Amino acid sequence: MITTLAIKNYALIEDIRVELTEGLTIITGETGAGKSILLGALALLLGKRADLGSVKNASKKCVVEGYFQIKDYELERVFEENDLDYEPQTIIRREILPSGKSRAFVNDTPVTLGQLQALSPYLIDVHSQHETLEIVSENFQMEVIDALAGNTSLLKSYKTQFENFKEISEKLLTLQQQKTSASKELDFNTFLYNELKQAGLKKLNQQELEDTYETLNNAEAIQEALSGVHKFFDEEQIGAIETAKQARILLGKIKGFSMSFEGLWERLNSVILELEDISSEVSDASEKIAADPEMLFQVNEKLQTLYKLQQKHAVSTVSELVAIEEKLEETVTTTLGLDEQIAYLEKDKNRLREVALQTAMQLHKKRAEAIPLLKKKLEETLYPLGLPNAQFKFDLSPSDEFKQNGVDVLQLLFTANKGLPFGSLKKVASGGEMSRIMLAIKAVLAEYKRLPTIVFDEIDTGVSGEVANKMAAIMHKMSKTMQLLSITHLPQIAAKGDHHLKVYKEDINEVTTTHIAVLKNEERVVEIAQMIGGKNVSEAAMANAKELLN
């Protein structure tokens, strides 16, 4: 319930603070006094978009603040789901800055309008004659039936099962789409993978292959060159090694005369040793070189395959081809494994569907059992409200489609008069009838579930006399278990209030300002008398007002 409403610099309001309590609070005032301003301020707390044009003084900040006592409403889960800080006394504040920017806070924590809009239905429920769209909503109608059927626990179980079913259905759909897409490319990817795999890339060394190819392809020229080198080194008379040895003998004869000659001998000796080693390797290499047309063909074939693959995949190294091969292998394996995954998910989906369907059919059964009671209560409630011939028809049938609240399809039909056919509420019920139907529904709901604070904005428009008395009695009964605020022009309803607020305008220094007064005792008598007979209160009106209050 809302305990305090504070408004600063909003429309015609300068600064007011209203304390609200349990029971039925009546709000009265002349047309244009500012009752709608209160509703506008409440709408801001409920998440309506702010408008700088509604600020009284555009150079100052506008603040609307509501204090809510919610410890008995079990809203911890709602706060958690919307990432809000829970407090037994929750404070909601809206600010409109001079710049036009709007801010919202829940328990002093900044929140988005989305978060505020998610929370507000659990705190305040506003109804007017012109705002009864909710009543024609199938979801709302189903909520009413579920309240009478006591389906809270069953609905919670179903919603969990439905979410699990929906989650696995989405996964399955994703895999099926993936399979459809992958199947189109499977043959091509498999071909590419096999082509790379057959090339044996992981065992190939491109540099070695290219060296081997060049060697085999030029075997004769290489052998001829190596033979010539060996000949230059080892020919007996003019070979380089033999000549160097002769030079070493001559240096050996004089190396004992000087350290520098000994150094020259040692250097030449090292050169001779190196030349002998080179000569030996050249000789070995020459013996190994031989024309091998078959091996040359094989090496060339491998290289050509490698070059074609590199060109095809726009890479230049074997390692890059190996990476492509591994990726293709993963893609092909995943595609081939999709059937197994899909089969598993389909089995799981069918299992979850069966579980959710069983719960949904339990909901259907309990709803079907509750409908006669709801029909009876609504028709009995509407009888004294000037609709003695009101009748409802609930067509409830299960469908093949899972929804948030089960599988049921509901059509609520209504007729207000005997002999006339049933039709949908939206088409056959007038504005006044819709208002009374909404009141009846809320009155029935109040017996079965804890409702948020309800605000009735002139829901009694168009009724009078005994019907007004009956509406007042229903509101008063509802207020025994909940907080109810009613903006009204009817003295019969105003007299039933536990508390009475009067909204009025006052001109101060050529400025019109809206105020709210808490009426007590004699003030209430005068206000109700004026509602009966106008500004000039007669003794009869005063007597009538006292009678209504008593």
Q: Return the higher-pLDDT residue of 85 and 247.
A: 85
pLDDT-based confidence at 196, cuts 50/70/90?
confident
Residue 189 has pLDDT above 90, yes or no: no
Over residues 149-156, mean pLDDT? 94
- Residue 462's pLDDT is what? 76
Q: Model confidence over 28-79: pLDDT tens digits?
A: 998 888 888 888 999 999 999 888 788 888 889 999 999 999 998 889 999 9
Over residues 349-360, mean pLDDT? 95
- Residue 327's pLDDT is what? 82
Hey, which residues does 5 pair with through a beta bridge? Answer: 18, 66
Residue 131 has pLDDT above 60, yes or no: no
Domain made up of 1-123+452-519: CATH architecture: 3-Layer(aba) Sandwich (3.40)
- Residue 514's pLDDT is what? 92
- Residue 182's pLDDT is what? 66
Helices and strands in the chain, H and E counts: 17, 15
- Residue 127's pLDDT is what? 84
Tell me the DSSP string of 53-113: GGBSSTTS-EEEEEEEE-TTS--HHHHHHTT----SEEEEEEEE-TTS-EEEEETTEEE-H
Q: Is the Cβ–Cβ distance between 25 and 147 less than 8 Å?
A: no
Q: How far apart are CA 84 and CA 94, in angstroms?
A: 16
**Which two three-digit tokens encode residue 56?**
């009284």
Q: What is the mean pLDDT of the chain?
A: 86
Residue 519 has pLDDT above 90, yes or no: yes
Print burial letters for 528-537: b (CB count within 10 Å at least 16), e (below 16): bbbbbbeeeb
Q: What is the length of the chain?
A: 550
Hey, which residues does 443 pair with through a beta bridge? Answer: none
Q: Model confidence over 297-312: pLDDT tens digits?
A: 776 777 777 778 778 8
- Residue 291's pLDDT is what? 61
Q: Which amino acid is at 341?
A: Q
Q: Model confidence over 239-265: pLDDT tens digits?
A: 777 777 767 777 777 777 778 778 888
Q: Return the higher-pLDDT residue of 485 and 274.
A: 485
**Which two three-digit tokens encode residue 348?**
């799981």
What are the boundaries of each domain within the chain? 1-123+452-519, 182-335
Over residues 166-188, mean pLDDT? 79
**Beta pairing, strands 124-128 & 499-508:** unpaired
Q: Return the higher-pLDDT residue of 374 and 336.
A: 374
Using a pLDDT cut of 90, give the percent of the chain over it: 47
pTM for the structure as a whole: 0.68
User: Which residue bears the tokens 């904005």?
Assistant: 457
Cα angle for residues 363, 367, 371 (degrees, 5° grid): 180
pLDDT-based confidence at 133, cuts 50/70/90?
low
Residue 491 C-beta-side C-alpha neighbours within 13 Å = 22
Q: Is the Cβ–Cβ distance between 415 and 104 less than 8 Å?
A: no
Residue 55 per-residue DSSP state: B
Using a pLDDT cut of 70, give the percent of the chain over it: 88
